[in-house]
């Protein structure tokens, strides 16, 4: 299935331009989150959907709204334009950044000050950008309303511990030097309000490199490799051609394969699913930071992880998920959810030579049920888990073909292709 937040790749520089505009041209500074009482720590639940962490928050006293918790963004970003009419934001102004997309400029509103509440913490005044068009369409991707992305302001305000198996985040006052028992400390850098790590990779050609990667909790994949010394990475011989998302200049194409290993401190992960976006669609558009790619929740979720931005470190301790094998979708379908309730599951792309193509499924066909259970009773996470569960596993799929409105039941047998 589509690995959604590759579409951020061509958007990161634009967000940084918005940050510069907000924080410097209008001569203001962002305010941190703080506990509203005398608390020293608090635990908050999150939803993990398609490997994205989703938390509720309030804006200007209204909500709650669902936001992706995303270390890969440096600015509080509202992606749902409909909130413009409900949030009563003051000092708002419109900007355009020319030259992105087919005949289009990036249009957004910016404001120097909104109030944000997360559980019992509050940021009284932080800058924000509000997109005039939802470029990410995260709601369709995860199958529930998503209103934006939050990253740096939250992570720089606290020590943040993420427990993926329990779907909880525990936050501590930054002056509390929290160190998990048996946790391994790994240094990071904070550049343009995003965390970077140096990690050892073994590539498919046997080459070993020390790669600089963004630590990106807003990406569902394990690893994405963009450029190596200014050149594209060599794509593994066994690969799948993939549409990795939509950037501001159009589709981000590339390949998905595996690399032999990723080493984080003393921990080694083997046979890791890795995305290789086409150089001209991704790395060529990123000029501000010299980096090799990014690391997403496909790896991070295997650890109990603590972020300590103020001390430039993360702490890792393997979780019960550590030894899970890395798997990619085995159906050959990219899916999105539609309708007011996000209960319509639509095929947006069929991969060539995949099980879905072999069974005659087509783009725009709608999946009605899986194993005699309506998809309206499933989440996108449920469906995603099914289609990457086990090689040679079979499902009975009920579909309605867009071309002739004919209903049909087919047997779809999963096939591991990488």
Could you give the count of Cα atoms lying within 13 Å of 94 in the half-sphere of its Cβ? 8
- What secondary structure does DSSP assign to 146-183, as a single string? --EEE-HHHHTTSEEEEETTTTEEEEE-TTS----TTP
pTM: 0.90
**One fold for both 4-172 and 333-413?**
no
- What secondary structure does DSSP assign to 22-85, as a single string? IIIIT---PPPPEESSS-SEEEEE-EEETTEEEEEEEETTEEEEEEEE-TT-SSEEE--GGGGG
Q: Are 162 and 304 in contact (CB under 8 A)?
A: yes
Domains of the chain: which residue ranges?
4-172, 184-318, 333-413
DSSP 8-state symbol, 415 = -
CA distances 221 to 218, 244, 295, 387, 392, Å, are 9, 10, 7, 15, 23
Name the E strands within 192-292.
194-202, 208-215, 223-225, 240-247, 250-264, 267-277
**Total length of the chain:** 418
Architecture of the domain spanning 4-172: Beta Barrel (2.40)
Q: How far apart are CA 70 and CA 215, in angstroms?
A: 9
Q: How far does Cα 34 stand from its chain's mean position?
A: 26
Q: List the pLDDT tens digit at each of the 418 positions of the chain.
A: 334 444 454 454 555 555 555 554 444 455 789 998 888 899 999 999 988 999 999 999 998 999 999 998 888 999 898 898 888 777 788 877 554 444 455 678 888 889 999 999 999 989 888 888 887 788 988 999 999 999 999 999 999 999 999 999 999 999 877 777 788 999 999 998 999 999 999 999 999 999 999 999 988 899 999 888 888 899 999 999 887 765 544 567 889 999 999 999 999 999 999 999 886 645 455 555 688 999 999 999 999 999 999 999 999 999 999 999 999 999 999 999 988 889 999 999 999 999 999 999 999 999 999 999 999 999 998 999 999 999 999 999 999 998 899 999 999 999 999 9
| DSSP reduced 3-state for 313 | strand
Q: How far apart are CA 390 and CA 74, in angstroms?
A: 37
Query: Which residue reads 């807003």 in tokens?
Result: 218
At residue 9, the pLDDT reads 43
The CATH number of the domain covering residues in 184-318: 2.40.70.10
CA distances 259 to 201, 206, 276, 418, Å, are 8, 9, 11, 11
At residue 175, the pLDDT reads 87
- Evaluate whether the domain defined by 333-413 bears CATH number 2.30.42.10: yes
């Amino acid at each position: 299935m589509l690995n959604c937040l590759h579409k951020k790749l061509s958007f990161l520089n634009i967000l940084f331009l918005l940050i510069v505009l907000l924080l410097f041209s209008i001569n203001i500074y962002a305010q941190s989150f703080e506990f509203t009482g005398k608390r020293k720590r608090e635990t908050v639940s999150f939803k993990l959907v398609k490997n994205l962490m989703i938390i509720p928050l309030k804006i200007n006293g209204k909500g709650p709204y669902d936001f992706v918790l995303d270390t890969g963004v440096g600015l509080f970003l509202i992606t749902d334009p409909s909130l413009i009419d409900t949030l009563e934001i003051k000092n708002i102004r419109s900007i355009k950044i020319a030259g992105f997309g087919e005949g289009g400029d990036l249009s957004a509103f910016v404001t120097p000050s909104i109030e944000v509440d997360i559980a019992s913490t509050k940021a009284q005044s932080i800058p924000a950008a509000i997109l005039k068009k939802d470029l990410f369409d995260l709601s369709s991707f995860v199958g529930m309303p998503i209103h934006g992305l939050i990253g740096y302001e939250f992570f720089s305000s606290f020590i943040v511990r993420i427990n993926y198996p329990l779907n909880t985040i525990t936050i501590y006052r930054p002056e509390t030097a929290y160190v998990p028992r048996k946790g391994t400390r790994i240094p990071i850098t904070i550049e343009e309000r995003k965390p970077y790590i140096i990690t050892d990779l073994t590539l498919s050609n046997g080459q070993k490199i020390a790669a600089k990667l963004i630590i990106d909790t807003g990406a569902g994949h394990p690893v994405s490799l963009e450029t190596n010394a200014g050149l594209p990475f060599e794509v593994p011989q066994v690969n799948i051609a993939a549409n990795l998302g939509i950037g501001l200049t159009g589709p981000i194409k590339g390949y998905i394969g595996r690399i032999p290993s990723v080493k984080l401190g003393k921990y080694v992960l083997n046979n890791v699913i890795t995305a290789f976006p086409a150089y001209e669609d991704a790395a060529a558009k990123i000029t501000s930071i010299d980096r090799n790619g990014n690391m997403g929740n496909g790896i991070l979720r295997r650890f109990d992880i603590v972020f300590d931005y103020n001390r430039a470190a993360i702490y890792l301790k393997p979780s019960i998920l550590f030894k899970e094998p890395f798997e990619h979708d085995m159906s050959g379908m990219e899916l999105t959810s539609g309708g007011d309730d996000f209960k319509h599951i639509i095929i947006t792309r069929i991969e060539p030579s995949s099980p879905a193509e072999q069974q005659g499924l087509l783009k725009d066909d709608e999946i009605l049920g899986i194993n005699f259970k309506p998809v309206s009773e499933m989440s996108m996470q449920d469906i995603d888990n099914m289609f990457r569960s086990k090689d040679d596993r079979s499902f009975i799929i009920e579909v309605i073909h867009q071309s002739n409105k004919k209903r049909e039941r087919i047997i779809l047998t999963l096939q591991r292709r990488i």
